Structure 1
Amino acid sequence: MVDAHTHLDACGAKTAEDVRAMLDRAEAAGVSRVVTVADDLAAARWAAEAATWDDRVYAAVALHPTRTSDFSDADRAELAELAARPRVVAVGETGLDYYWDYAPRDAQQEAFRWHIELAKRVGKPLMIHDRDAHADVLAALDAEGAPEKVVFHCFSGDLDFARACVERGFVLSFAGPVTFRNSSALREAAAWVPSGQLLVETDAPFLTPHPFRGRPNEPYCVNYTLRELATLRHVELIILANEVTRTAENVFGIGA
């Protein structure tokens, strides 16, 4: 499988040896590749470099919406250079976050539009962070024209929002919250998403799936989310594992 969204640096990895050890643990659990995702410039530099240390690691770079209150031309130029690197397979995570007030909404929206354009310019998927901003995220994508491939990381909507995303051809990636029994609307959406538009992720070290909720997360834990998705979708685990692996390979352009 592929963990479609993780943060190896936030999990504690600093060196090539750290990354290798973390990926060895993941591979022992059947997770053969990961996309490590940046949320600021320092993380973007690290992710792009870490993706050259181990063939099992790919990177995504962007400025997280909560960090966009000060987004300079120099920042944009550096992100554009990083996004063009061959081991960087997506522009993300970018989008809108109305839960926190760390950045004004107008700054978030302007930065989001810039990232949409960047993804189209470099020809790579756009990886969306959407928290309490469903309508505005879709409005921005519709207004700017979405890139060919769009991934809603840690999808948090209900069935109606899932339908709106799927109708636009977007891919929905599910993390630990789909294993929580009180996430009924999210679980309903996950059961419905068509094959080929479904990914699985950890968002490690955050959002650890049941039964380890509240403990540190790592890419190997994606197994627990996949198992819950297989139950919700009434499919055999191996079939779903193969499906989400093919989807990840197609979305991110990574080989088997």
Structure 2
Amino acid sequence: MAGHSHGRRGDPPPAPEPLPVAVADAHTHLYIAAPDDPAGALAAARAVGVDRVVEVGCDVPSSRAAVALAEAYPGVLAAVAVHPNDAPDLPDLPAALAEIDALAARPRVRAVGETGLDRFRTGDAGRAAQEESFRAHIAIAKRHGKPLMIHDRDAHDDIFRVLESEGAPDTVVFHCFSGDATMARHCADRGWYASFAGNVTFKNAAELRAAAAVLPAELLLVETDAPYLTPMPYRGRPNAPYLVPLTVRALAEVRGVAVDELCGALSANAGRVFGTW
């Protein structure tokens, strides 16, 4: 989740050309992007070759909603967490974490996240609570044998420090990967996945594209983070899972591979991380 601002200007972009091989949106927020019509959003995504999504909660209510959506729709799996920017503001963080722990046991929950650290929106006063929450989510992921889905904003070194001190779960996904090629190699050396969102298409994202170019194909995922980070040429307009093909085609160009080849890898990776939908 890119931030807390839900407003997006303009009409939804037109549907892109369908992908030749279906892929998964590895991180979306339909409770914000399509609160009144999740079925319509899922149908629009399927029509362009995005046949599966991971619905991600950012607090206890949205995590409950993610589980309910995943239990209602076969093309949806859930991830549950307290977002790092929310952790310092909760009146009872341990109670919220206990609720996330209980939700993580549900069979349609396939990841714990998004959790991590955010040095952009949370200042010094909130850092201890953020780190406490992150460490607790790592423990929850390991306890339930679920992948850990990481939110990392301006916090690369601290994220690595905490993962190394706690011991990372078997599967780690850096949602909306925000590092450079050096960080991508660091993650690849540890077998950690990088999920790329629409910001990889932005003009000023040369370092992000360099990271996408060097990451091993078997560690690559794609996501929308909808309604945020709408790919070019529609930056600033509302995002939704049906726009994944724009990011996939940009990634294929960056990596110098055919779109169908990349789709096959992305689909296989999503299945390896999240299991069957």
Question: TM-score of the superposition, structure 1-length normalised?
Answer: 0.96
* Pairing partner for 1:199 from 202, 221, 225: 221
> 1:133 aligns to what?
155
Q: Following superposition of structure 1 onto structure 2, how do residues 64-75 of structure 1 map, counting pairs within 5 Å? A: 64-69=83-88, 70=90, 71-75=92-96
Partner deviation per Cα, 1:27-79 (whole Å, 9 max, x = no partner): 00100000010111110110011111110011100000000112433212211
> 2:64 aligns to what?
45
Residue 208, structure 1, aligned to residue 227, structure 2:
no
> 2:190 aligns to what?
168
Q: Contact 1:159–1:185 (CA<8 Å) still a contact in 2?
A: yes
> 2:204 aligns to what?
182
Q: Contact 1:97–1:133 (CA<8 Å) still a contact in 2?
A: yes
C-alpha distance in 2 between matches for 1:23 and 1:236: 26
SS in 1 for 2:38: helix
> 2:39 aligns to what?
20
> 2:173 aligns to what?
151
Identity of aligned residues (%): 53
Question: TM-score of the superposition, structure 2-length normalised?
Answer: 0.89
* Pairing partner for 2:114 from 93, 98, 116: 93
Task: Give the drift of 1:12.
Answer: 2.8
Q: What is the identity, as a one-letter code, of the residue corresponding to 2:61?
A: A
Q: What is the identity, as a one-letter code, of the residue corresponding to 1:101?
A: T
C-alpha distance in 1 between matches for 2:35 and 2:75: 14
Q: What is the identity, as a one-letter code, of the residue corresponding to 1:140?
A: V
> 1:82 aligns to what?
103
C-alpha distance in 1 between matches for 2:183 and 2:258: 26
C-alpha distance in 2 between matches for 1:240 and 1:44: 30
> 1:36 aligns to what?
55
C-alpha distance in 1 between matches for 2:83 and 2:139: 16
Higher mean Cα deviation, 197-206 or 75-84?
75-84
What is the total number of aligned residue pairs between the two structures? Answer: 252
Could you tell me which runs of 5 or more consecutive residues in structure 1 were left unpaired when the two chains were aligned.
none
Residue 115, structure 1, aligned to residue 137, structure 2:
yes
Q: What is the identity, as a one-letter code, of the residue corresponding to 1:40?
A: D
C-alpha distance in 2 between matches for 1:13 and 1:172: 27
> 2:248 aligns to what?
226
Residue 59, structure 1, aligned to residue 78, structure 2:
yes
Partner deviation per Cα, 1:109-130 (whole Å, 9 max, x = no partner): 1110000000000000000000
Task: Give the drift of 1:21.
Answer: 1.1
Q: Contact 1:19–1:54 (CA<8 Å) still a contact in 2?
A: no
Could you tell me which runs of 5 or more consecutive residues in structure 2 were left unpaired when the two chains were aligned.
1-22
SS in 1 for 2:31: coil
